[in-house]
Structure 1
Amino acid sequence: MDGKLKDAMPVIERLSAAGHQAYFVGGCVRDALLGRPIGDVDIATSARPEAVMAIFPKHVPTGIRHGTVTVFVKGRSYEVTTFRTESDYDDHRRPSDVAFVDDIRTDLKRRDFTVNAMAMDADGRVIDPFGGMSDLERGVIRCVGSPDERFREDALRMVRAVRFAAELGFRIAPSTWRALRRNAGLLRHIALERVGAELDKMVRGADPDRAAALFIRSCLWRTTKTPLETNGLPACAGKVKLSGLEAGDLRWIALWAASNVSPEAAHHWMSQFAFGKKRMRAIFAPLELHAAAASIPDTREAWAALALRHGRQAAADWLDVMRALPGISPVPADRLARWSAWLADIPAFAAAELALDGTELAEAAGRKGGPWIKRTMDRLLLETAAGRLPNERRALLERALRILDNEPDGKDEP
């Protein structure tokens, strides 16, 4: 038995000792049977929530209305959920009516896909009422029961079907795929933040190229709560091999760079993914650079100005993506090589990194502070980045004073 399941065994044992049924359920069972690394360990039990809380003094009633209690054993946390049925789903996402039951098979019946609708007891015996083990062997993602019903209950399951198929290398059963296409429009009821979390797992997953292809073929990208620019995303199909990039935001950069979607439209769509400002900047600064790269002359100064505008990391990430996927690069390989060398040679990307600061400049120039300082420092920064000026205090000061000779009264330009 997997180490994570062994670590969680005391939870099963304590529930059983108190006279309740208890099983490992869902993804941890699926991954254990496939020999894959296990993520979260979920446990289902016949014990009612109040009984679970009585058995485990250290607990948090994280989803008490739906029967879920997070318990703590030996410093680890586990979600323990009472066997239940669900009905009357609100907005094609959350069940409004939950009833606790005593039979694990009834509980498994409410789950999304057969490969996730299995339970395992403490002895490793698998309860599989819907053919999940057979679907694992055949490599199939198939809904439990009616796929139309499953997707109407929770429209996010359509995106999860695509993710599981790509991550596990499985195919989607024809009946499940047809139902997914029929019900794609229901995705507009799901918060884009939830859809984004699934898409992020796909892009960072084992086969992001297949995930992207399935997401595009399903037309789910058109039916999200905030629709993406029409016909923009399919342009990337077949152009990129995201799996050739490390499993991080370089893949997002490559995906959008290969599409016909404008950076503005992509940013508007992804801004609802709740990625945070820092991460969004890390993705879209390289894309803004990408949009401008083809139009600049092949000179060190032009490249330095573009790199300074977007930042060292953005420039480096963009170059990494273009070198890995030359088919989507707006400039030839020899130019990428030159720009990479020039980037490595830029000594400063901010005025604060120069060997001269604004206070020293004002004192040497005999002027009061003002916008002229920033303007002059920016000139020094560009000339340093362009390789025309060393990042040395004396050289910087001499050049700054020459620049200021054209502004003897210190007034700002109109």
Structure 2
Amino acid sequence: MASEWKKAREVLHILKGKGFDSYIVGGAVRDLLLDRKLADIDIVTTATPYEVSTCFLKTYRMNNLHETVIVKYRGEHYEVTTIRGKKLVEDVKYRDLTINSLAMDYEGKLIDFVGGQNDLVHNVLRSIEPYDRMTEDPLRMLRVFRFVSELGFDVDHELMSVITAQHDLLKKVAVERVMKEWIKLLKGKHRNQALRMIKTTLLFKSIPGLMLTEHALEQLAQFRSLTHSSDTLCLTAFCLCLDKVDEPFLRNLALSNEQSKKIRERLTYYEKRNHQRWGWLDLYYASIQVARDVETLRLLGNKESESIDQLQVMWEALPIRHKSELAITGADVIHSLEKPQGPWVKEALTLAEQLVVTGQYRNNKEDLLNTLLERRDEL
């Protein structure tokens, strides 16, 4: 952390040397005071984007509404944004919460115009002019509860009232932005506190894409902590709390195709595990990672679960763990059975896989081809 701050303050010093005021702002200052792991370090400056670009060798302009330049300096990347208004005091008042409105200069002096440090001490989330801050970007209403989930802070009464009255505006926010906040909220140590507030303010009715209900929130609260879980595990746990999850629903969450596939796989095998234990074929087709995630989900959901170590033993005992390890190929099958290419080839290879995985035959080319030859008329 000391190294990160040292480099960031060097960036401030360079800008100062060129005649521009500059400050580290927002989450980095907040997390430094809370002794939390730092995420991105953001900087504001009186320099214009062009002037910033003349101060450093490697920069590129971000394509967004703010005048932001990415500065690469000593292996780190910093978002450097031109101050909104004429002075820092004007800029910080535009920020969502007082605890995110703290700043620090290149000498390490803390600058607090809005009482953010006091709110940190008293564990309170508060906004300056909360109606304006929440309505100019309604995603901030969900961000408030994401911070509740991460920090365990209370929410100022006036801010809670604004969210309760204006939550309908959140429906207009892009699902992609919502999902980033939602995943962070799910992973927070104080998730259930945040879920209760989302229920109290009725915000859950306006979160686009998630199809949340009171029942879903109650089910989600039953899961043990997801703090150290992967995004895939968090989203699968969330989906298990909903009444209906289908392909259109997952598409509407604006997830990548790969992420959607991973969630579908885990949901499928989670459902199978409700009725049976892991067998050789299920484990083979699922993969050890899916099986581990399913059992972790069962454990987090307070259901009986199988030992991860035992699953690993089963996995390592499989004769093959992927179809590419099968001793025969499609070309081998066509040549041996002397039939024209068609869907039957895939069926034959699948049969061979199953015979090997279940231990009925060795993964031996000659044995497998002889077996398929015997069943030629069935394929």
Q: From 122, 133, 137, give the equivalent of 1:150.
A: 133
Q: 1:289 is aligned with what amino acid?
A: Y
Secondary structure of the residue that 2:375 maps to in structure 1?
A: helix
**Does residue 290 of structure 1 match 2:291?**
no
Secondary structure of the residue that 1:59 maps to in structure 2?
A: strand
* Pairing 1:204-353 to 2, within 5 Å after superposition: 204-226=187-209, 228=211, 230-231=213-214, 233-243=216-226, 246-257=229-240, 259-264=241-246, 268-295=248-275, 300=279, 304=281, 306-307=282-283, 310-322=286-298, 324-325=299-300, 327=302, 329=303, 333=305, 345-348=317-320, 350-353=322-325
Shift of 1:230: 4.6
CA distance in 2, matches of 1:54, 1:298: 63
Q: From 132, 137, 154, give the equivalent of 2:121.
A: 137
* Pairing 1:82-101 to 2, within 5 Å after superposition: 82-84=82-84, 101=85
Change (3 A) 1:402 1:345: farther
Secondary structure of the residue that 1:262 maps to in structure 2?
A: coil
CA distance in 1, matches of 2:250, 2:278: 34
1:354 equivalent in structure 2: 326
Change (3 A) 1:317 1:66: closer
Shift of 1:142: 1.1
Structure 1, unpaired ranges of 5+: 85-100
CA distance in 2, matches of 1:76, 1:292: 46
CA distance in 2, matches of 1:383, 1:232: 44
Q: From 111, 124, 132, give the equivalent of 2:95.
A: 111
Q: 1:82 is aligned with what amino acid?
A: T
Secondary structure of the residue that 2:362 maps to in structure 1?
A: coil
Identical aligned residues as a percent: 28
**Does residue 13 of structure 1 match 2:47?**
no
| Aligned partners of 2:183 and 2:231 also within 8 Å | no
Shift of 1:355: 1.9
CA deviation digits over 1:69-91, x for unaligned, max 9?
Answer: 2233334332222221xxxxxxx
Shift of 1:282: 1.4
CA deviation digits over 1:258-281, x for unaligned, max 9?
Answer: x133231xx544434443211221
TM-score, normalising length from structure 1? Answer: 0.80
Shift of 1:389: 3.3
Structure 2, unpaired ranges of 5+: none
Shift of 1:111: 0.7
| Aligned partners of 1:23 and 1:44 also within 8 Å | yes
CA distance in 2, matches of 1:224, 1:334: 35
| Aligned partners of 1:24 and 1:120 also within 8 Å | yes
Q: 1:237 is aligned with what amino acid?
A: L
Query: How many matched pairs?
Result: 379
CA deviation digits over 1:187-241, x for unaligned, max 9?
Answer: 1110000001111223344555555555455443331333516555224133211
CA distance in 1, matches of 2:116, 2:357: 60
Q: 2:264 is aligned with what amino acid?
A: F
Cα RMSD for the two superposed structures: 3.1
Q: 2:268 is aligned with what amino acid?
A: E
TM-score, normalising length from structure 2? Answer: 0.86
CA distance in 2, matches of 1:54, 1:245: 42
**Does residue 390 of structure 1 match 2:370?**
no
Change (3 A) 1:383 1:178: farther
1:88 equivalent in structure 2: none
Change (3 A) 1:298 1:159: closer
Shift of 1:186: 0.9
Q: 1:78 is aligned with what amino acid?
A: Y
CA deviation digits over 1:288-310, x for unaligned, max 9?
Answer: 22234435x6694xx72x55565
Shift of 1:122: 1.9
